[in-house]
Amino acid sequence: MKIRSIETFRVRVPLKKPFKTALRTLTVSDSVIVKITDEEGRTGYGEAPPTHVITGDSLAGIEEAINGIIAPQCVGQSLLNRENLLHTINKAMVRNTSAKAAVDCAIYDLLAQHADMPLYQFLGGSTDSFDTDYTVSVNEPEEMAEDAKQFNQDGFSVQKIKVGTGAIEDDLKRIRAIREKTDCTLRLDANQGWTAKEAVYAISRMEDEGLNIELVEQPVKAHDIQGLKYVTDHTYTPIMADESVFSPQDAIRVLEMRAADLINIKLMKAGGIHQALIIAKLAEAYDIPCMTGSMIETKVGISAAAHFAASQRIITRYDFDAPLLLAEDIVGGGVQFDRARMTFSGTAGLGIESIKDDAVIGRGQA
């Protein structure tokens, strides 16, 4: 069961409306899709979106990392020798976590197909369904409130609200306006937009006003672990680390310092499922619950992340709305959505069947 070939191709899909955070604004989703074929003709899929302001990865960089560096070290290798194979991917180059993740996920897709099991069962099988949240982009308070109201009516009772741009008072106005329109569960994501003192001030104000925030994600800069701990220690609302945790080593630092109450594990930060599993087990050892989220990805990447999330008991929150933000679903098969509810088809592996040809804008191969 050796790897016969590794191919890449670019896809592009417009978003329904601009996606705005404290770090960037997107109107189009670009990604590199990886297709690995084994000697028996099975195919596995992975995805790597360019997220310059978080991972530092670009489309051209992802393609070169895969086709020029990672793939040549993997073609001809046995998938059944997965520990060494996945170690090779992780050590092939520093950083470049999105490229590593795409190849890693395609390999896990093939491994689960070989075992004739859906990937989430192959990895652990903790649950077979869950609800995702839905993201409200940063805009004027009135627009955000109307979006939140509509998403709640559409069946999304948990929403992630983007904040961290402009003055603290602007963010407070946004949350107040949303609370006037909906009583759904609200998670805030500041995307590194506050200082530690600003975060404590803003969160304390929300607590005092009874705005009922479930958690606040990455309030401070990714490198500011002391600041993250300061916020965690000085607020009642749970604080979640996102950009502060890419690797198992990052997770160890945050966990040992008790710098956060939760960790957001993303495959594109971790470098794929292999490393993400290590982070999940570390968090479980410290009894720190996790969320699994994503970048702006198609259903290829989201399917891999969802299968990983469903496999682990310590993962209790899910942020997989990215395919619902796209103007078109270009992927046949994969994880299934019924409004907020996400389920799996029962097909072995990821269950990816096809990708629309008209979404493909370029191809490559090692």
Out of 162, 229, 269, 299, the active site residue is 162
The CA–CA distances, whole Å, from 161 to 106, 134, 263 equal 32, 9, 17
The whole-angstrom separation of Cα 42 and Cα 349 is 11
Quickly tell me which residue has 């670019």 as its tokens. 10
Q: Does 35 participate in catalysis according to the annotation?
A: no
Cα 35 to Cα 28: distance, rounded to the nearest angstrom? 22
Query: For 28, left (φ over 0), alpha (ψ -120 to 50), or beta?
Result: beta
Distant-in-sequence, close-in-space partners of 183: CB < 8 Å, separation ≥ 6: none
Eight-class DSSP state of 359:
G
Of the residues 35, 100, 266, 269, which is catalytic?
Answer: 266
The beta strands (E) that lie in the chain are given as 3-20, 25-38, 43-48, 129-131, 134-136, 158-162, 185-189, 213-217, 239-241, 262-265, 290-292, 315-318, 331-333, 336-338, 341-343, 352-355, 360-365
End-to-end CA distance of the chain: 19
Crossing angle for the helix pair 168-181 and 141-153, to the nearest 10 degrees: 30
| 269 catalytically annotated | no
At a CB cut-off of 8 Å and minimum separation 6, what does 3 contact? Answer: 36, 37, 38, 39, 74, 75, 76, 77, 79, 107
User: Do the Cβ atoms of 203 and 231 come closer than 8 Å?
Assistant: yes
Are 332 and 353 within 8 A, CB to CB? yes
Contact between 92 and 73 (Cβ < 8 Å): yes
Catalytic positions:
162, 266
